[in-house]
Structure 1
Amino acid sequence: MRRIATILLAATAVPAAAQTAAPAPVIRPEEMRAHVAFLADDLLEGRDAGTRGYDIAAKYVASRFDGFGLKPGGDAGGWYQSIAFQKARLDPTKPAALTIGGRRFDNGGDVAILPDGRFQDQRLSADAVFVGYGIDAAAQGFDDYRGLDVRGKFVVVLPGVPTGTPSEIGASLSAEKAKMAERRGAIGILTLPTPTMLKQFPWERARASVGAARQRVVEPDGTVRLPAPGIKASAYVHGPAADALFAGSGTTPAKVFAAAAKKNARPRGFALVPALELAQSSLVEKSRSPNVVGVLPGSDPKLRDEYVLLTAHLDHNGVNPAAKGEDKVFNGAMDNAAGVATMLEAARAFVASGQAPRRSVMFVALTSEEDGLLGSDYLARHPAVPRGASVVADVNLDMPVLLYKLDDVVAFGAEHSTVGEAVARAAARTGIALSPDFMPEENVFVRSDHYSFVKQGVPSVMLATGSKNDGARIFKEFLGKTYHTPADQPSLPFDWVSAAKFATVNYEVARDLADAPERPRWYVGSPFGEQFAKDQPKAVRPK
């Protein structure tokens, strides 16, 4: 990540208002530990959005905001921005299945079917077409649908993007696959987990999640928000079911995976032989769950209507009776009680500094991230700011893996806007190095809440714990063994000193953004700035 190093050198040589600010107040490891211990306790039952456990967690965050002296930033002068949801769950009395060429594969075996609240009882029959990675973006050099007719059919896709694709471009493209398929007329998407994907998310865990609900936002006008309404069914297909899809095609999934594993390989699509029928029945319930919003008003009359956000998702995956082992509670200590603790301690530090920020700073514990970034998407489209005010940056805090000594961070998004210069200055002030993304295959940039703000044109960043001190191995091991399992507990060997240090560097980033004389800008040539903020003024990237 040579550009990050270049930004660091340039930023440390250029004066900025934030560089003259008072030193950050001390953030205590014990405070970080206390937040995580409460939020990830079994009594909160995994903090699933819309449940009593989440509501208790939200009340805890609101009480901390109140104790720090923040102002309520939610609905009607309160702490909460309430969001309506529709939750769909597969009906266990009517087993879902995917039939491929007359052979039935039950849900939870070699297929994992996602519920859809629009269809109480659904039987969807259609042919299928393999479309490689399923990317339709000619401007970026991807044309996976070329010569293929997928109208009224299922598309069968590989997850992610070709090996060798720059991670930030790949992340954006991956997030748009459903819309791309919809534009081409497809009615369903079947994803084939690759060996690389299965190393990070074993099929056993996918099978264990088949009973999980699928949540959607209900807008204030009563409509359900859908990313691609034309897609009527989605599922993951593995093992013998994947083999059945390719029967009669002259190739196999194993051969496709092997070809796709080569750098820059782009498997060409073709029509598949077997006819498909997907059957599922969904039960639908309605709920509400809030974002928790606290505000520290800005002191500069010219800048206080510009808001810097610090966000962290408060929800996790609740209780799953089908989870393997005796423990059924998904406590989410690292994901994301640790991120919420970081946000809370940054808020405390802002107030304790005794120096009001020039811009207003908004601290938000977000709901329903685990359901598809729903709480942040709602906030990004319905900003909790006064009329005439605007959100100028988001610093997102999601799952720092606090299991090793922190000497470096990875700053996702730092290369795309002047937010990266604030990150570089903050890292220099706290003695933290900046390291390159050591897991580009994870497409982190589109998998957490900052991306909701990026899609609204807001320059954003998310810091992750870095690769030094064996961090890359420990982080990846956490993803493979502990992430989204009941093992993500407060009893993990947290390095609380490093947790406090991580909170400090994030505070410094937000402080820099809040006090800088100019609002953040996308860099000229950033694919995200060009896609989502075409009409905004751009900055020239430091050389």
Structure 2
Amino acid sequence: MGFLADDAMEGREAGTRGYDIAANYVAAQYALLGVKPGAAGGSYLQRVPLLAFKNASEGSLVLTAADGTTTALKFGEDYLPNAQAQATEVSVSAPLVFVGYGISAPEKGRDDYAGVDVKGKIVVLLTGAPTSFQTEERAHYGNGTVKRLEAAKRGAVGVISMATTSSEKRRPLERGVAGYREWRMTWRNAEDVGFVRGVSSPTLASIGLKGAAKLFAGAPTSLDTVLAAAETPDGLIKGFDLAPKAAVSLKSEIEKRESSNVVGLIEGTDPKLKAQTVVLTAHLDHTGINENAKPGVDRINNGALDNASGIATLLEVARGFQNAKTKPKRSILLVAVTAEEKGLIGSEYFANNPTVAKADIAANVNLDMPVLLYPFTDVVAFGADRSTLGPAVAKAAGRVGIALSGDPLPEEGLFTRSDHYRFVEQGIPSVFLMTGFQNGGEKAFKDFLATHYHRPNDDLNQPIDYQAAARFALVNYEIARELTDAPERPVWKKGDFFGNQFAPAGHPSAAK
């Protein structure tokens, strides 16, 4: 942690010199531990070709009414443009159609697109998902990429995301103005093109309630009625065509960048099981340097707990296996991933381009931001109740005298918000592990979020409890040991939502 959170790493932002130094440090630690290179060509470094993109202008969004009159929406007041990864200039002119939350959930008997034709049109959809949905499923259906894929499947030519009353209250549109030109990232595919799911229906803009009022002028259902319905538990609103047409013009700046995941291999010893791999992940990157900080103020986001602590834990787990008299039966891949802070990009690249056969990846255990500031007595494994990983984690933690607790923050949908989720999307049973809320954990976690998270003072000046850190590493070692040596490969629970979504019948991890 001392090395990774040092100012010399300059905040470990993906695609920077500081990150590359940190990546080479982790590779050197693998080598010192006797961990074999796990990337192509006998290297520890899996090249991750990145594409950075940001808004180059305020863009324009102009509405044309049936009588030919035009209304230009106001940047920062009515709308914010969405940067595009595919082209520096994008212009879309099309009719508008409102599709409620834009959700199609067959298992719930729900289709917000029922009765509306969106082909060749720009869909306007509400941000988020209804409160009646189970929290993790709500996070899935509320995800912008999932919505864009649905719109693209139905032939829409663009998406405009519209605020609800509650989302506007939580985060007013105007607050997004300060960061509207921040760099975003994706990875480049084999054709050297930015990977964007649902690219034929790009997300063009976000509109607030003031902008929505202009879009809904002359609508068959009033905006007030729509917004009131959106706040009900089921949020059911029948879709309809909007009166105006829209012309959206966007300009983006696009740059190619390079980074790497750091991959180490501990080979299994069982003749039958060694082909299967348990992947342990932690993100190595952080948020870099605050360029707009005042002179004389600390500008470097050191990321000690987020996530130098996770990487340090990963290395200690490797040390545990290398020092153990009994070697693991299944193989282990240690993957320090890049660009988590940019949207889980390094893990997405690895999950789509693994250095072992994808079908042979049995499970993923992810470490992200363990708050090592108190003598924790429980851990939370997000997603543990969705697969047979749950009992394995509980058994392993119990060997160290640590309890396994349920999700203390269900409203946050954390199961979908860290690197393990990119493995879930490939059908691989996964859990995300963090220190629990017992024995002062809730206060420590919430205080950290309020005063240190993504700030320069997430550094080694915090009262880090290294005895607790050692115990957390031991818990993770025991979990990895349980998974590598279990006779049966982990599978999704029968009927689980994510198992059904991503690991249908015939998938190696499908429910038996």
Give the TM-score category using the shorter length: 0.7 to 0.9
Greater alpha carbon shift after TM alignment, 273-282 vs 81-90 = 273-282
Show the counterpart of 1:357: 328
Show the counterpart of 2:67: none
Show the counterpart of 2:20: 55
Structure 1 gap segments, 5+ residues each: 1-34
Is the partner of 2:73 in helix, strand or coil?
Answer: strand
Q: What is the CA deviation profile of residues 324-357 of structure 1, one whole-angstrom value per residue up to 9, with x for unaligned ones?
A: 9955544433332232222222222222333311
Show the counterpart of 2:177: 207
Is the partner of 1:535 in helix, strand or coil?
Answer: coil
Show the counterpart of 1:315: 285
Q: Which residue, out of 224, 230, 255, partners 2:194? A: 224
Show the counterpart of 2:6: 41
Is the partner of 1:263 in helix, strand or coil?
Answer: coil
Q: Which residue, out of 33, 52, 65, partners 1:68? A: 33
Show the counterpart of 2:66: none
Aligned amino acid, residue 95 of structure 1: E
**CA drift at 1:375:** 1.6
For the pair 1:265 / 2:214, whether they are aligned, the reply is: no
| Maintained 8 Å contact 1:336/1:398 | yes
Structure 1 CA distance, aligned partners of 2:262 and 2:29? 11
Taking a change above 3 Å as real, the CA distance of residues 263 and 391 of structure 1, as seen in their structure-2 partners, is: same
TM-score for both structures, normalised by structure 2: 0.87
Taking a change above 3 Å as real, the CA distance of residues 77 and 463 of structure 1, as seen in their structure-2 partners, is: same
**CA drift at 1:166:** 1.5
Report how many residues are paired.
Answer: 501
Aligned amino acid, residue 79 of structure 1: Y
Cα RMSD of the aligned pairs, angstroms, is: 3.1
Q: Which residue, out of 346, 359, 365, partners 1:375? A: 346
Structure 2 CA distance, aligned partners of 1:171 and 1:507? 30
Show the counterpart of 2:59: 96
**CA drift at 1:123:** 2.8
Structure 2 gap segments, 5+ residues each: 64-69
Alignment of 1:347-496 (within 5 A): 347-385=318-356, 390-469=360-439, 471-472=441-442, 475=445, 478-479=448-449, 483-486=453-456, 488-496=458-466
Show the counterpart of 1:189: 159
Show the counterpart of 2:83: 115
| Maintained 8 Å contact 1:298/1:358 | yes
Q: Which residue, out of 338, 341, 349, partners 2:312? A: 341
**CA drift at 1:521:** 1.7
Identity within the alignment, % = 46
Show the counterpart of 2:255: 285
Structure 2 CA distance, aligned partners of 1:329 and 1:244? 42
Taking a change above 3 Å as real, the CA distance of residues 465 and 248 of structure 1, as seen in their structure-2 partners, is: farther
| Maintained 8 Å contact 1:128/1:274 | yes
**CA drift at 1:414:** 1.1
| Maintained 8 Å contact 1:417/1:522 | yes
Structure 1 CA distance, aligned partners of 2:74 and 2:200? 24
Structure 2 CA distance, aligned partners of 1:470 and 1:272? 52
Taking a change above 3 Å as real, the CA distance of residues 538 and 319 of structure 1, as seen in their structure-2 partners, is: closer
**CA drift at 1:439:** 2.4
| Maintained 8 Å contact 1:88/1:213 | yes
Structure 2 CA distance, aligned partners of 1:72 and 1:83? 16
**CA drift at 1:438:** 2.7
Q: What is the CA deviation profile of residues 152-191 of structure 1, one whole-angstrom value per residue up to 9, with x for unaligned ones?
A: 3333333332113123333333342111111122222233
For the pair 1:86 / 2:56, whether they are aligned, the reply is: no
Aligned amino acid, residue 373 of structure 1: L
Aligned amino acid, residue 308 of structure 2: A
Structure 2 CA distance, aligned partners of 1:428 and 1:410? 13
| Maintained 8 Å contact 2:86/2:194 | no
For the pair 1:162 / 2:130, whether they are aligned, the reply is: yes
Taking a change above 3 Å as real, the CA distance of residues 59 and 198 of structure 1, as seen in their structure-2 partners, is: farther
For the pair 1:77 / 2:42, whether they are aligned, the reply is: yes
Q: Which residue, out of 478, 484, 487, partners 1:508? A: 478
Is the partner of 1:514 in helix, strand or coil?
Answer: helix
Taking a change above 3 Å as real, the CA distance of residues 315 and 537 of structure 1, as seen in their structure-2 partners, is: closer
TM-score for both structures, normalised by structure 1: 0.83
Structure 2 CA distance, aligned partners of 1:539 and 1:150? 34
Taking a change above 3 Å as real, the CA distance of residues 519 and 215 of structure 1, as seen in their structure-2 partners, is: same
Structure 1 CA distance, aligned partners of 2:358 and 2:343? 29
Structure ranking higher on relative contact order (CA contacts 8 Å, 6+ apart): 1
Taking a change above 3 Å as real, the CA distance of residues 45 and 150 of structure 1, as seen in their structure-2 partners, is: farther
| Maintained 8 Å contact 1:187/1:233 | no
